[in-house]
């Protein structure tokens, strides 16, 4: 926070600064005094000339400067509050983004697992498959073993395997398609 000195001390400091600026002159046109001997009379002379009118005008200038500084600080405070709100919003959005990333990783993992399962199911469909049509169904109401019916059909009707050979035909799965007649 800015410390405010008494008006008299502040006026003296400003007078000293004004006299230094006066002695320095316009740097572009007149570079100011070359040696220190020229400087001291102006400083002494200007510090002694404390007239009441000059003090009042300097007080007015100081008050205007203080008002300007106060307004600037107020504006800066408002901007900082705005930045603080934006920062809080960004933090909230960052939390949401982190949460969404976590959910995305979970969904990606589930997606990989589902792809794996689909591939496994597809592998089953890619096995060597035979569809056999035209073999006779058993009588309605009796239970038949589809694999034994197929083996019997392959031996008796198609002469692929002999009934007494040691060869076995591997059948992974055997099942009926559709509904039974009757």
Instruction: Give per-residue pLDDT as tens, 97-125.
Output: 999 999 999 999 999 999 999 988 887 67
Residue 85: per-residue pLDDT: 93
Domain-embedded: residue 8: no
141 pLDDT more than 60: no
Residue 131: per-residue pLDDT: 72
Domain-embedded: residue 43: no
User: Lowest-confidence range among 16-30, 138-152, 160-174?
Assistant: 16-30
> SS3 sequence, 27-84?
CCCCCCCCCHHHHHHHHHHHHHCCCHHHHHHHHHHHHHHHHHHHHHHHHHHHHHHHHH
Range of the domain at 164: 143-176
Taking the C-alpha atoms of residue 86 and residue 78, their distance in angstroms, rounded to an integer, is 12
Mean pLDDT of the chain: 72
Buried-state track 152-171, b at ≥16 Cβ within 10 A, e below 16: eebbeeeeeeeeeeeeeeee
Report the domain count for the chain.
1
Higher-scoring residue by pLDDT: 47, 29: 29
Domain-embedded: residue 167: yes
Residue 47: per-residue pLDDT: 45
Residue 21: per-residue pLDDT: 63
Domain-embedded: residue 69: no
Domain-embedded: residue 155: yes
Domain-embedded: residue 158: yes
135 pLDDT more than 50: yes
Domain-embedded: residue 182: no
Domain-embedded: residue 97: no
What's the Rg (C-alpha) of the chain? 51
Residue 167: per-residue pLDDT: 62
- pTM for the whole structure: 0.35
Taking the C-alpha atoms of residue 7 and residue 56, their distance in angstroms, rounded to an integer, is 10
Residue 44: per-residue pLDDT: 45
Q: Which are the contacts of 24, defined by CB distance < 8 A and separation ≥ 6? A: 32
């Amino acid at each position: 926070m800015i410390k405010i000195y008494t008006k008299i001390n502040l006026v003296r400091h400003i007078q000293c600064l004004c006299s230094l600026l006066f002695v320095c002159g316009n740097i572009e046109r007149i570079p100011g005094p070359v040696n220190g001997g020229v400087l001291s009379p102006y400083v002494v002379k200007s510090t002694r000339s404390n007239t009441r009118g000059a003090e009042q005008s300097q007080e007015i200038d100081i008050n205007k400067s203080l008002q300007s500084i106060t307004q600037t600080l107020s504006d800066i405070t408002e901007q900082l509050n705005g930045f603080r709100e934006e920062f809080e919003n960004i933090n909230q959005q960052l939390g949401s983004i982190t949460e969404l990333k976590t959910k995305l990783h979970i969904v990606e993992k589930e997606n990989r697992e589902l792809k794996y399962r689909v591939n496994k199911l597809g592998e089953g469909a890619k096995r060597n498959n035979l569809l056999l049509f035209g073999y006779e169904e058993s009588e309605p109401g009796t239970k038949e073993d589809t694999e034994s019916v197929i083996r019997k059909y392959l031996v008796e009707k198609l002469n692929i395997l002999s009934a007494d050979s040691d060869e076995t035909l591997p059948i992974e799965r055997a099942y009926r398609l559709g509904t039974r007649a009757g």
